Structures are given as C-alpha cells and as structure tokens.
Chains A and B, each alone.
Chain A
Amino acid sequence: MTLYTATEEEQNLSIVPARYRGRWVMAGVVVLGVALMAYGMVTNQRFQWGTVGEYLFAAPVLAGLGNTLMLTAVSMAIGIVLGIAVAVCRLSPNPILSSAAWAYSWFFRGTPLMVQLLFWFFMAALIPKLVLGVPFGPSFFEISTNTLISPFTAAILGLSLNEGAYMGEIVRSGIRAIPVGQTEAAKAMGMTRLQTMRRVILPQAMRVIIPPTGNETIGMLKYTSLVIVIGYSELLTSVSIIYSRTFQTIPLLIVAALWYLAVTAVLSVGQYYVERHFERGFTPMKAAKALPKTAANALSKSGLPPASSASLATVSGPAEELEKAK
C-alpha cells in the first residue's frame, strides 16, 4: 500500500468561510425600522418625554421601585426554598410527605393569586387570634392576627406561597431530568437520600431549573403589582397614584415600563452568570478552564487557522491521552 502525499499546491489551499450577504440586508432593514420607530416616539409631543424625565427619579417612584424589588427578592427567595422542599417531598417514598406536597401545589396553583392575597390580608377577620397551646387544653401564647398580618406580611405570604407551588414543579422537573445512574452511584457510595439530593442531584438539576426560574423572577417583578388590592404600594401603585392626580397617564406608565425593563435587563445579566456557574463540567468552553491557562487562551483568542488550533488542542491534555490510549 502506498501513502498519498499532498502536493505543495494542495497543502497551500486556503479556506474561505461561507458569506451570508442576506444577513447584512436584513440587519439594515431592522436597524432602519427601529430608528424610524424611535424617531417617531421621541419627536411625538404626546409622549411627553419631559414629564417622563421629571418623574423617572422622583422620590415616590423610587420608593415604589424599592418596594417592588424587595417584594420580588423576598418572595422569590422564600418561593425557591419552598419549591425545593415541595419537590423533594413530592418525590419522597414517604406517602404522607408526597401527598401533602401534591395537595399544596394543587391548592396554591389552583386558586387565583389575588384571592390568596386577599385571604391573607383578611385572615384577621376569619381567625382573630392565633393561639399556641395544647388543643382543648391550656394555651401558652396568644397573639391577635391583626398585629401579625400587616399588608407587607400578607403580600409576602401570598406571593411566596403561590410561587413555592410553581417552583416546586420547576424543581421537580429538574430533578427528574437527572439520569437514575447518578442516584444509584451516590446510594452505592453510602449517601443518604438527602446527601444525594444536596450533593449530586440538585447541583446538576440547577442547569434545568435556572432558565424557568429566571422567567418566574421576571414574572414576579410584575405580579407584585397585584398587592395593590391589599393596599400595599409598589412601583405601579406609586405611578398610578401620581397620574390619577395629574392625569399624565401615558408618561407615568412609560416611567414604570422603563424601570421594569431596566430591572429585567439586570436580572437577565444575573441569570447569565448563574447559568454559567452551574454549567461547570458540562460545556466544552467551561472545560477549557481546567486546561493549562495558556493553551486555553491561545485556543479561544488566537484566531489561528483550523490546522494550528488542532495541534494546540493536542498539547493541552485530554486529546493527548486519547492518542496514547490508541
């Protein structure tokens, strides 16, 4: 058998990536369209941009924004913790835990959030006193429900208990996405069910859990405006109080929209970093981190033609060992 040797001319052939001219045309059309719309909006007197600017950083608006952020952060934090607990209980072999978790999800997903908020707020009317003690026996501690349930606590209870039910389903789907072999290996090593969850399953499930949790957080940002029904004030309430007085409805709604958009942008950036954290061990790009720094950098930054970056990969480890094994 003879080996084929490439001629010098063949060795010097260079590769030209495919060009997509249509993309430039498309980009041009899009940029033009957006520019026209922006121009139209900016020059339209009825949008009252001056008023928007005037109220964007107004104290009541910022106070409302602060409340929105606080409600979102606290409710999501409690909701996520509840969700993990609910999902772990749902998948527990203990039938009492799993049916309790199922019932919780059923109830809190099955009733309107606004009803739940009103229920918590008016709990004092239904149950005037909360008592800690022996049933039908002496009581140790008594508190009036009214002092316990303020509009703030009612808002947090309503939002986070509702969120916990949805997060439970998200976490459950994440846990179920992990192959059973992972649980088997952990069990065979002598891990308990909880250790397996905490050390093996949840860290991997996070990859599946994070994107819908991002959705939930952004959704929560806007759902918080429902607390208006129990008299708690947040961003949308604050601007509505102003425009009901000044009748500058559109510019004030723009103020609220701009803030929601800004916060959503920040959350999206945060989500990107959280996602990247849990990608550990899963993507080739992240994998490059474990390789010697220089080679990894060279690979990503060199922009060398394919042939030379392939030889760099050989220097960097795994490929080399593979070669040896062969």
Chain B
Amino acid sequence: MKEPIVRARDIRKSFGHLEVLKGISLDINAGEVACLLGPSGSGKSTFLRCMNHLEKIDGGQLWVQGERIGYRRSGNKLHELKEHETAKQRASIGMVFQQFNLFPHRTALENVIEGPTVVQRIPKEQAVEEGRQLLARVGLADKADHYPGQLSGGQQQRVAIARSLALKPSVMLFDEPTSALDPELVGEVLDVMRSLADSGMTMIVVTHEMGFAKEVGNVVHFMADGQLVESGDPHQVLEDPREPRTQAFLSKVLA
C-alpha cells in the first residue's frame, strides 16, 4: 500500500486547562479530498493549524509526505525543529483561511508571487509568469493588478488559493473557506476548489457546505469535543450517520 500523504496519530492539544484535541488519528491518501465537519469549538481549526505547526502539539505524532512535522526524533526524544526548518516544512503545506488574509498592500499578482520569490527564491520573471497562469486558473487573469481592497470576497479567496498553490504544495488545508462570504459568492470559490480536487490535489477541507462534501469529498470526518466521532463515505456519514452526536449535529445543520 502507498504511504498516506498525511498521517496523524493520537494528536493532543490543550490551551491551558482546556483540552481541545483529545487524541486524533487519521490518514489522508494522495489525491484524497477529506472534509472535516463538526460543531463550532470542536477543534477543527486547531487540528488544521497543528498540521503546519502553527500550533505546537502536546502529544502524538504527525507526518506529512513521510516527514515528521515540527520535530526531529532522536532515540526516545522529539526535538522541536528550528524556525527555518519549520518554515521550510510549511512551504509545502498550503493553507487557506476563512478571512482570506491576503496582503492588502500588494496586488493580486504580488500576493501570488510573494511565496515563490521570498521563500523559494525563484527568479521574479518565472514567478510572475507562473503567477499569471495561476490567476488565470482561478478565473482572475484580468485582476492581476488589483489590490485586495478592490476585489469582492469571492475574488479575494480565489487569489488566496492561487497564492497557496504558487508554492506547489503537496497538500492544501482549507479552514472554512466560504464562511465569510456573501451567499452569492460561495459558488465561485467552491468551483475553484472542485477543479483543484479534479486535478488530483490532496485536500483537507473544514466546511459546512454539505453539498460540496458529498459531491467532491472522498471521505468525511466528523469531529466533536476534540475527538473524531465518525469517519466514512460522505453519503453514508451525511445521510445515514451511525453516531448519535453526528445525528444530533446534522439535524441542527439541516433543519
């Protein structure tokens, strides 16, 4: 069997006395789209942020593409990596945020080439050329010279996706990418994500878009209270959930 792209084993995380992740284990295979569902505060964002070491885990182990994230093991000890080593690992893990977090002082194109030129030190001309192709891919070729403040929410999120893709990541993390959008702008972002999935990108998507999860997702993981409650085929989990907590959540969401 092939090595999974993401391998999480018993991930634990607390903020002070609050235990937010109580031992999460899951595998995500190459080309898989995994949707993460669960009530607010169940730890979905925290889990995603652990995957690129934006949060330090308190326990468990995590590998992305066979590489241990955030630590180096020697004997019985896990030594935390230095800043530049963590930074290097992060560059191959794309992340898209609910609030887009584009750099407002840079145009769409400048946002997209920032990673390649600053982090990967790719020559500027090459980065610009690839950046324009990426903007075209998310349908924004004509917006290259616009500042984020001149773009709609949906357009900003598409630029943010292009910005992550510019680093040629092996996996993309999405944290509620459409939750901050006006309803009529959700579709354009989901379209981009769907075509990204079709191109074979491995994706972990925290979302409340049930339609997207069923149509594009290969697997749904349902989280509650920092635990993985139920995992499986999207249609099975969303239409015929086995666990009472999943049932309770879905009945509230779909009501």
Contacts and interface: CB of A to CB of B under 8 A. Distances in A.
Contacts, number: 101
B97 A192 contact: no
Contact of A282 (B52, B104, B160): B104
Contacts of B93: 188
Interface stretch (A9-17, A48-56, A198-206): A198-206
B195 interface: no
A326 B184 contact: yes
The 4 tightest CB contacts between A and B, nearest first, are A190-B91, A185-B101, A281-B147, A188-B95
B26 interface: no
A189 B83 contact: no
Contacts of B92: 190
A182 B101 contact: yes
Contacts of B103: 182, 185-186, 200, 204
Interface residues of A, number: 30
A192 B84 CA distance: 6
B119 A191 contact: yes
Contact of B150 (A182, A203, A318): A318
Contacts of B115: 189-191
A187 B114 contact: no
Interface of A: 181-182, 184-193, 195, 199-200, 203-204, 278, 280-282, 284, 287, 290, 317-318, 321-322, 325-326
A203 B91 contact: no
B143 A190 contact: no
A280 B143 CA distance: 16
A187 B86 CA distance: 9
Contacts of A317: 142-143, 146, 150
Given A189-B91, A199-B118, A281 B52 contact: no
B243 interface: no
Contact of A321 (B94, B119, B149, B155): B155
B225 interface: no
B99 interface: yes
B153 to A, nearest CB: 10
Range for the number of chain B residues in contact with chain A: 35 or more
Contact of A281 (B95, B105, B154): B105
A192 B163 CA distance: 17
B54 interface: yes
A321 B152 contact: yes
B87 interface: yes
Contacts of A325: 152, 154-155, 184-185, 188
Interface in B2-33: none
B226 to A, nearest CB: 21
B150 A187 contact: no
Nearest to A284: B149
B90 interface: yes
B58 interface: no
Given A191-B115, A325-B185, 17 more contacts: A181-B97, A182-B101, A184-B101, A188-B94, A189-B91, A190-B87, A191-B87, A192-B83, A199-B114, A203-B105, A204-B103, A281-B105, A281-B148, A281-B149, A287-B147, A290-B145, A318-B146
Interface string B66-90: 0000000000000000011001111
B194 interface: no
Contact of A290 (B91, B147, B152): B147
